[in-house]
């Protein structure tokens, strides 16, 4: 579908929406029904609403409806208030943007309007530093060459300025004509692709002839960007309001379900099924007792036979359903959401993750998945800017079979190169000219006439700076010309066409015309595998192949440069085809690529450049630590295979042993190559399995061989597989399952020449196998990978903020990843595991007491506890103490970093799984038995009131939960002590106050109990019997079968003192055996964390 935008035509301006922006989710009228609908879409809320509605039926409810309606309404109000506040802030932001003043030009008259009043087809006039209010097609600027600069950081996160140029059709329009221009823009319907705009424009007579002019994204000014270093610019509005590319890109991200959340959901379903069974069993026996014994008891006042309603048989089961509904804790979601919000703040506040070099703090954009950080199984990392600094420096080069660069790798100080330039060696001069001209770099001249460069690519900036340092300086550039200064002489070149770089072509070219001779030249640069096959017949390229291999083995990034003279007739014919392809609205990108392909041939290869991109500080140590923690680390990069392998060696992804070598895919194409020749005989030495080949059959055969070696080699986790993008494409098409098995067997993967789509495909493969993945990158090409992963981490780097904006977490440097995972992730998982299981424990405890009381009340479904006590128990008495775990640390941060293998426990889900939940389930049942029988034994005589019995049982529950939280707390702080024991004191204060109100059932109850010694003896006995076996069990288990955590605590407490040095060494030896055993069990029978297999329940 197409859109026709008529410029300055009032009759068509209302055909499309105005420029009013609306990011709000609700209106004043639909807020209540829409918010309630969203909240009731959750199964748990539906369940509790059903229970609350059943409690309104007075015939069946054992307690007041307030026990469920109260907490439910509180939860709904909290959630609705948060939604309303967030939406109100969005409304204020929209209002500010909509009412911003904008200059409009109509029939030559400038007038100011609100931004929301702009319509499609209007001509908008912008001034320097203005924010662009809608998507515009640029038609004029203050620059004589038709250039303007825009800052796109708010749109794509990239911090470098972008150059935008006016289309040739409007190049000669005066300022007066711009205000009266008429024409039509033919463009696609609105979409969210900020990298692409395939359109055409025609201007109507009498201003210019009716020629069609192609438009690209470089001719647009997009909403949310800013005009910089340009006095004014004007453009035609083509997309407005929420139909702009920025508006179409907005939208709520899909919520991510953590592994812990998945376990909690399964446990909730299991408890629900258990509850149904309990209700049916108790309901059956309750009806049986009613018809055999209950009808005989006159004081129960059951209706006589024949007068009972038809549904009488369901009343007792429904009463038990209401009584047992508290098995599923109503407050668990709010409690976990609050805890996760605090986890996110801990990340934001962590000063040890603050990057002082760039003044960048760590930031958590997603507050819901912090515990997943502690269960990461695979890390897939970009290389450039993520593992490396993304500060490019040209170190070596090869020109005309001669390699330049001294022992220090600095080609700028190579005397031979300096002499070649001084003697005007033609190949060297051409080489430098391609470096200076074949790019999208923008030179900016300061007041003191010094020239600096703005570039979207750090490689291009490195090449242009190197050329300038070698006397080939790019001093000015606009849309049509470029000026070079070489050895004091200036040379002017006309820029005829730019053949832009794409990830598919892996090269870019420019067509220039020499100002002095009029010769037309094609200048090209690109990856060696993209450019060398396009060399002119007869040229010897073996030397360049060897140079590229040598440089890549040094870990340098390589590019090849080429040159071709074009005949004018050939260029004119090609230019016509290029123009037609550029004007096409269907498959424009493919057609342009085909036309570019036809010109980029018979190139004279000038040489190879080698650019250094140093590793970031702390990268090798971080990767080593993460691998020791049991995390599989993959590197995904667009670099050559040998460059990627060398970087893998430098950053501890691959461990080189004797005989290590890395072969070129050209030298050893077919079959599987081992980077360690002796690996099958010495499997303990790490190496790289390179999968590739010349043909599809070779690649698939090498994959099967690699898989066979992995299966038959002991300690396969020390092997890394290496493959490139083309091999991956073939493998995913023909043998995806075999590759998945290979990936599962290998601890390390190095994937080179990867496109952004392929990076995301690799993440998807691991996710589909059930593994919990983390993707980390720093550039726009990493966004798809980051969004695909379970956890996305963006680095705020030199490539901008696009990756950081799209990620769940952003950090300043890769080295902070170890702290994000090992400290914040592990602590968050431990805390979530306790909070979730404790929430079930406290609810099951009170529910089991209710069930036991049913056997003393004729299985009638009568509640032991009054309505106020039940509501307060869930909302106040037991919710605050559990929040103390938010501050808890089982072992210190230093110990975690010293023994990163301890992460295996959270990776394997050791603290939250069906087995641990059964432990909490059993504890709740045991504690319920203790509380019930001690209470009944002490207060079951005729002198005791029902309310006294209820309060004694409730007090026993409060005492037990206080000691349970205290025992499971590993570190104590003032907030923790205040919340646990302050809440304990508050329980008595609240009930003493309620006991003083005559109208309540609790009147005088607590005063009487507190004055009775039997009450305090009962409480002491409850704690002793309830906690004694638990304490004893833990003591003997820690003594005779300590866990790794217990041993680490022992090491921490000893502090390595001389007196305990023998025990300390023994403990450390035992710890090593435990962790090694955990790794062996994990590696030999390893199942994905998120797999549905029975074995992975872990």
pLDDT tens for each residue of 540-591:
889 999 888 888 888 788 899 999 999 999 999 998 888 888 877 778 788 8
Q: What confidence score (pLDDT) does residue 881 get? A: 77
Which residue's structure tokens are 């005729």?
942
Residue among 700, 230, 721, 660 at smallest CA distance from 478: 230
pLDDT category of residue 661 using cuts at 50, 70 and 90: very low
- The neighbour count for residue 993, using CB atoms within 10 Å, is 11
Q: Average model confidence (pLDDT) for the chain?
A: 82
Residue among 25, 29, 177, 145 at smallest CA distance from 91: 25
Tell me the C-alpha distance between 455 and 461, whole Å: 6
Tell me the C-alpha distance between 879 and 927, whole Å: 18
pLDDT tens, position by position, 1000-1036 = 777 888 888 899 899 999 999 999 999 999 899 988 8
Tell me the C-alpha distance between 397 and 677, whole Å: 30
Residue pair 924/845 in contact by the 8 Å Cβ criterion: yes
Is pLDDT above 80 for 639? no
Q: Which of 382, 613, 808, 888 is catalytic?
A: 382
Q: What confidence score (pLDDT) does residue 296 get? A: 58
Is pLDDT above 50 for 29? yes
Residue among 648, 463, 456, 484 at smallest CA distance from 560: 463
Residue among 445, 372, 456 at smallest CA distance from 161: 456
Q: What confidence score (pLDDT) does residue 411 get? A: 58
Greatest mean pLDDT among 21-30, 136-145, 850-859, 880-889 lies in 136-145
Q: Which of 299-303, 591-595, 646-650, 855-859 has the lowest mean pLDDT?
A: 299-303
Mean pLDDT of 1040-1057: 75
Enter the tokens of residue 154. Answer: 């708010």
Which residue's structure tokens are 């639909």?
30
Tell me the C-alpha distance between 384 and 637, whole Å: 7
pLDDT category of residue 1063 using cuts at 50, 70 and 90: low
Q: What confidence score (pLDDT) does residue 127 get? A: 94
Residue pair 386/642 in contact by the 8 Å Cβ criterion: no
Q: What confidence score (pLDDT) does residue 1073 get? A: 64
Mean pLDDT of 341-361: 90
DSSP letters spanning 448-485: TS-EEEE-S-HHHHHHHHHHHHTTEEEEEE-SSEEEEE
Mean pLDDT of 107-125: 92
Q: What confidence score (pLDDT) does residue 685 get? A: 34
Q: Would you call 611 helix, strand, or coil by DSSP?
A: strand
Give all strands of the β-sheet with 2-7 in edge-to-edge order: 2-7, 183-188, 199-203, 213-215
Residue among 614, 622, 613 at smallest CA distance from 814: 622
Is pLDDT above 80 for 847? yes
- Verify cis geometry, omega within 30 degrees of 0, for the bond prior to 544: no
pLDDT category of residue 1074 using cuts at 50, 70 and 90: low
Residues pairing with 7 in the sheet: 183
Enter the tokens of residue 460. Answer: 């291009």
Sign of CA dihedral 532, 534, 535, 537: positive
The phi and psi torsions of 523 (rounded to 5 degrees) equal -110, 130
Residues 6+ apart with CB under 8 A from 118: 18, 19, 102, 104, 124, 133, 134, 237, 240
Q: What confidence score (pLDDT) does residue 1056 get? A: 46
Q: What confidence score (pLDDT) does residue 392 get? A: 83
Share of the chain above pLDDT 70, in %: 86
Residue among 143, 219, 137 at smallest CA distance from 183: 137
Helical pair 736-745 and 725-734, crossing angle rounded to 10 deg: 120
Strands 109-114 and 101-106: antiparallel
**Distance from CA of residue 734 to its chain's centroid?**
30
Residue among 12, 709, 63, 808 at smallest CA distance from 362: 808
Greatest mean pLDDT among 87-96, 230-239, 553-562, 587-596 lies in 230-239
Residue pair 917/267 in contact by the 8 Å Cβ criterion: yes
Q: Which of 221-230, 535-544, 706-715, 897-906 has the lowest mean pLDDT?
A: 706-715
959-983 in b/e burial notation, b at 16+ Cβ within 10 A? bbbbbbbbeebeeeeeebeebbeeb
Mean pLDDT of 237-260: 80
Tell me the C-alpha distance between 172 and 146, whole Å: 9
Is pLDDT above 90 for 816? yes
Q: What confidence score (pLDDT) does residue 770 get? A: 86
Q: Look at phi and psi of residue 577 and say left if phi exceeds 0, alpha if psi is from -120 to 50, else beta.
A: alpha
Residue pair 931/964 in contact by the 8 Å Cβ criterion: no
CA end-to-end distance (rounded Å), the chain: 52
pLDDT category of residue 1083 using cuts at 50, 70 and 90: very low
Is pLDDT above 80 for 118? yes
Specify the higher pLDDT residue, 874 or 981: 981
Specify the higher pLDDT residue, 761 or 288: 761
Is pLDDT above 90 for 352? yes
Is pLDDT above 70 for 1045? yes
Sign of CA dihedral 307, 309, 310, 313: negative
Residue pair 394/411 in contact by the 8 Å Cβ criterion: yes
pLDDT category of residue 208 using cuts at 50, 70 and 90: low
Q: Would you call 354 helix, strand, or coil by DSSP?
A: coil
Specify the higher pLDDT residue, 704 or 508: 508
Enter the tokens of residue 966. Answer: 């205290």
Residues pairing with 199 in the sheet: 215
Q: Which of 401-415, 549-563, 879-893 has the lowest mean pLDDT?
A: 401-415
Q: Which of 458-472, 543-557, 937-951, 1035-1049 has the lowest mean pLDDT?
A: 937-951
Q: What confidence score (pLDDT) does residue 101 get? A: 93
> SS3 letters for 191-260?
CCCCCCCCEEEEECCCCCCCCCEEECHHHEECCCCEEECCCEEEEEEEECHHHCHHHHHCCCCCCCCCHH
Is pLDDT above 70 for 291? no
Residue among 764, 888, 787, 911 at smallest CA distance from 259: 911
Q: Which of 129-133, 450-454, 735-739, 1055-1059 has the lowest mean pLDDT?
A: 1055-1059
What's the burial of 475, exposed, middle or buried (CB within 10 Å: 0-12/13-18/19+)?
middle
Q: What confidence score (pLDDT) does residue 599 get? A: 92
Mean pLDDT of 876-902: 85
Greatest mean pLDDT among 50-64, 307-321, 385-399, 863-877 lies in 385-399
Residue among 670, 1027, 1074 at smallest CA distance from 910: 1074
Mean pLDDT of 287-302: 62
Q: What confidence score (pLDDT) does residue 680 get? A: 33
Share of the chain above pLDDT 90, in %: 25
Q: What confidence score (pLDDT) does residue 1077 get? A: 54
382 in active site: yes
pLDDT category of residue 1076 using cuts at 50, 70 and 90: low
Which residue's structure tokens are 């030009």?
105
Residues 6+ apart with CB under 8 A from 411: 394, 395, 396, 397, 404, 405, 417, 466
Q: What confidence score (pLDDT) does residue 675 get? A: 39
Residues 6+ apart with CB under 8 A from 466: 393, 394, 411, 412, 435
Strands 109-114 and 123-127: unpaired
Tell me the C-alpha distance between 441 and 478, whole Å: 10
């Amino acid at each position: 579908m197409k859109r026709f935008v008529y410029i300055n035509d009032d009759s068509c301006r209302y055909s499309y929406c105005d420029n009013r922006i609306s990011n709000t989710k609700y209106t004043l009228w639909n807020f209540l029904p829409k918010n309630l609908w969203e909240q009731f879409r959750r199964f748990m809320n539906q369940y509790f609403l059903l229970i609350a509605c059943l409690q309104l039926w007075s015939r069946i409810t054992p307690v007041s409806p307030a026990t469920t309606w109260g907490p439910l309404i509180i939860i709904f109000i909290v959630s609705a208030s948060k939604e309303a506040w967030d939406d109100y802030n969005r409304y204020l932001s929209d209002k500010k943007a909509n009412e911003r003043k904008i200059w409009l030009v109509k029939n030559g008259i400038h007038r100011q309007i609100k931004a929301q009043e702009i319509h499609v087809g209007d001509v908008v006039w912008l001034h320097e530093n203005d924010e662009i209010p809608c998507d515009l097609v640029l038609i004029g600027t203050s620059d004589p060459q038709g250039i303007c600069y825009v800052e796109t950081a708010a749109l794509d996160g990239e911090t470098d300025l972008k150059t935008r140029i006016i289309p040739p059709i409007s190049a000669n329009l005066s300022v007066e004509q711009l205000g009266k221009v008429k024409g039509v823009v033919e463009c696609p319907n609105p979409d969210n692709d900020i990298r692409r705009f395939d359109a055409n424009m025609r201007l109507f007579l009498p201003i210019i002839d009716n020629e069609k002019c192609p438009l690209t994204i470089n001719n647009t000014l997009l909403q949310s960007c800013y005009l910089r270093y340009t006095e004014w610019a004007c453009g035609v509005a083509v997309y407005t309001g929420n139909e702009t590319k920025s508006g179409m890109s907005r939208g709520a991200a899909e919520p991510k379900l953590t592994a812990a959340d998945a376990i909690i959901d399964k446990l909730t379903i299991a408890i629900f099924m258990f509850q149904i069974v309990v209700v049916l069993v108790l309901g059956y026996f309750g009806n049986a007792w009613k018809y055999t014994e209950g009808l005989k008891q006159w004081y129960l006042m059951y209706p006589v036979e024949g007068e009972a309603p038809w549904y009488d048989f369901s009343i007792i089961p429904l009463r038990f359903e209401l009584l047992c509904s508290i098995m599923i804790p109503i407050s668990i979601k709010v409690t976990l959401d609050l805890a996760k919000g605090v986890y996110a703040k801990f990340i934001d506040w962590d000063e040890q993750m603050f990057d002082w070099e760039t003044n960048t703090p760590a930031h958590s954009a997603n507050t819901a998945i912090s515990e997943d950080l502690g269960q990461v199984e695979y890390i897939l990392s970009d290389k450039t800017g993520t593992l490396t600094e993304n500060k490019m420096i040209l170190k070596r080069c090869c020109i005309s079979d001669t390699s330049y660069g001294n022992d220090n790798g600095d080609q700028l100080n190579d005397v031979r190169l300096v002499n070649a330039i001084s003697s005007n060696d033609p190949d060297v001069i051409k080489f430098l000219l391609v470096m200076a001209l074949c790019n999208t770099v923008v030179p900016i001249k300061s007041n003191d006439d010094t020239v600096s460069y703005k570039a979207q690519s750090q490689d291009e900036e490195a090449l242009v700076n190197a050329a300038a340092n070698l006397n080939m300086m790019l001093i000015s550039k606009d849309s049509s010309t470029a000026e070079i200064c070489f050895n004091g002489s200036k040379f002017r070149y006309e820029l005829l066409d730019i053949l832009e770089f794409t990830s598919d072509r892996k090269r870019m070219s420019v067509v220039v015309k020499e100002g002095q001779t009029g010769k037309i030249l094609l200048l090209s640069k690109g990856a060696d595998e993209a450019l060398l096959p396009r060399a002119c017949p007869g040229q010897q390229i073996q030397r360049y192949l060897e140079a590229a291999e040598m440089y890549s083995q040094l870990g340098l990034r390589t590019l090849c440069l080429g040159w071709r003279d074009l005949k004018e007739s050939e260029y004119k014919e090609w230019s016509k085809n290029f123009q037609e392809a550029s004007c096409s609205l269907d498959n424009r990108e493919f057609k342009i690529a085909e036309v570019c392909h036809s010109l980029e041939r018979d190139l004279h290869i000038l040489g190879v450049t080698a650019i250094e991109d140093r590793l970031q500080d702390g990268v090798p140590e971080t990767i080593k630590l993460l691998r020791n923690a049991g995390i599989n680390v993959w590197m995904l990069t667009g670099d050559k295979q040998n460059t990627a392998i060398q970087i893998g060696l430098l950053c501890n992804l691959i461990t080189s042993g004797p005989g290590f070598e890395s072969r070129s895919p050209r030298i050893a194409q077919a079959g599987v190559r081992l980077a360690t020749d002796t690996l099958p005989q010495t499997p303990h030495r790490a190496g790289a399995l390179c999968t590739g080949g010349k043909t599809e059959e070779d690649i698939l055969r090498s994959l099967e061989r690699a898989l066979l070696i992995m299966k038959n080699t002991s300690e396969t986790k020390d092997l890394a597989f290496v493959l490139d993008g083309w091999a991956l494409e073939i493998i995913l098409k023909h043998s995806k399952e075999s590759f998945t098995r290979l990936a599962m067997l290998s601890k390390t993967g190095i994937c080179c020449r990867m496109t952004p789509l392929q990076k995301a495909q690799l993440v998807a493969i691991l996710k589909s196998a059930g593994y919990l993945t983390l993707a980390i990158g720093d550039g726009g090409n990493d966004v798809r990978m980051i969004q695909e992963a379970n956890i996305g981490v963006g680095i705020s780097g030199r490539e901008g903020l696009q990756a950081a904006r799209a990620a769940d977490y952003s950090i300043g440097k890769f080295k902070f990843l170890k702290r994000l995972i090992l400290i914040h992730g592990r602590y968050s998982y431990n805390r979530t595991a306790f909070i979730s299981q404790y929430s079930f424990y406290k609810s099951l405890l009170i529910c089991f007491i209710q069930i036991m009381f049913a056997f003393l009340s004729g299985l009638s479904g009568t509640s032991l506890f009054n309505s106020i006590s039940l509501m307060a128990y869930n909302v106040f008495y037991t919710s605050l103490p559990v929040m103390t775990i938010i501050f808890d640390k089982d072992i210190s941060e230093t110990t975690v970093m010293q023994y990163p293998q301890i992460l295996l426990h959270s990776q394997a889900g050791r603290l939250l799984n069906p087995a641990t939940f059964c432990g909490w389930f059993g504890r709740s049942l045991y504690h319920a038995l203790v509380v019930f029988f001690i209470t009944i034994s002490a207060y079951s005589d005729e002198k005791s009131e029902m309310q006294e019995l209820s309060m004694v049982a409730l007090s026993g529950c409060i005492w037990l939960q206080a000691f349970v939280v205290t025992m499971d707390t590993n570190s104590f702080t003032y907030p923790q002590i205040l919340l646990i024991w302050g809440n304990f004191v508050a329980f008595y204060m609240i009930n003493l106050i309620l006991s003083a109100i005559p109208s309540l059932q609790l009147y005088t109850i607590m005063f009487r109990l507190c004055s009775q010694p039997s009450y305090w003896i009962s409480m002491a006995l409850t704690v002793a019997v309830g906690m004694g076996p638990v304490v004893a069990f833990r003591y003997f288990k820690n003594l005779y079968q300590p866990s790794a955590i217990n041993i680490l605590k022992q090491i921490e407490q000893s502090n390595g003192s001389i007196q305990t040095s023998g025990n300390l060494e023994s403990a450390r030896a035992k710890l090593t055996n435990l962790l090694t055993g955990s790794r062996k069990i994990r590696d030999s029978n390893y199942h994905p964390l998120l797999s549905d297999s029975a074995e992975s329940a872990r």
